[in-house]
Amino acid sequence: MRGCILTGVWGAGKTTLYRHLQHRLVASGCQSLITVPQAATITTHTYTGEDNDDQAANLLAWLTSLTTFLGDVDRRWQASSLPRHRERHAWTPTVLAEGLGFDLPAYPHLSIDRHSLLATEGDLAAAGLTLVFLRVPHEAIKTQCVQATRIHRGPGWSNYLLQFGDTDTERARHIASIQDTIESWVHSSPLPYLELNTHDHRWEHHAHQLCSLMLDSQEAHA
């Protein structure tokens, strides 16, 4: 198996890069693509109407089930003759995920302990996945993660921002603290990781880089 998990704060460009990379992988001939958008993890569990403890428990169960599924796909692939087939470049199971458990620092009300995710991350690493941290320089968070996303995401996002402080400076400071926590999670993870500075908005360049990384990694994991 091969693939990556994109993580970062609101406005770092996860969804934008996810879409560019998904298109590029398909265009590169990838025929066995498993995609998991951010909305399939955090969003589905924070809009259920359940209390915080139930949301956290269901999210952890979902992540465990997903990891078990991916591990099973990888084991079946490795046990077959397909890794040695001439079409393996197109057929290798490929995962593109956005967020997964690495979004949790942005949702402190879920109260999920960092250590409870390490075993799951270890299984994802064993399956051949790489963690990609989209980092926004602190001095650019106010413009990129507050002001620009307010414009692009509209009134709903503007209202959501209000809980982060009374001014854009305070809101940027809050988002920077969340990014610092995500970064510490990335550094403590058993997953191999790559850091990208997305302030340049070079989405096609980043997508090309990650696509090459993912497709080239299959030989090492086969």
Give every residue of the chain whose pLDDT is below 50, as ranges: 220, 222
CA contacts within 13 A on the Cβ side of 47: 6
**pLDDT at site 219:** 52
CATH code assigned at 17? 3.40.50.300
Q: What is the pLDDT of residue 110?
A: 82
Q: Which domain holds residue 132?
A: 2-221
pLDDT of residue 178: 95
* Encoded tokens for 182: 């995500």
- Alpha-carbon Rg of the chain, whole angstroms? 18
Number of domains in the chain: 1
Can you give the pLDDT at residue 220?
A: 42
- pLDDT tens, position by position, 195-208: 999 998 999 999 99
CA dihedral 40, 43, 45, 51 (to 10 degrees): 180
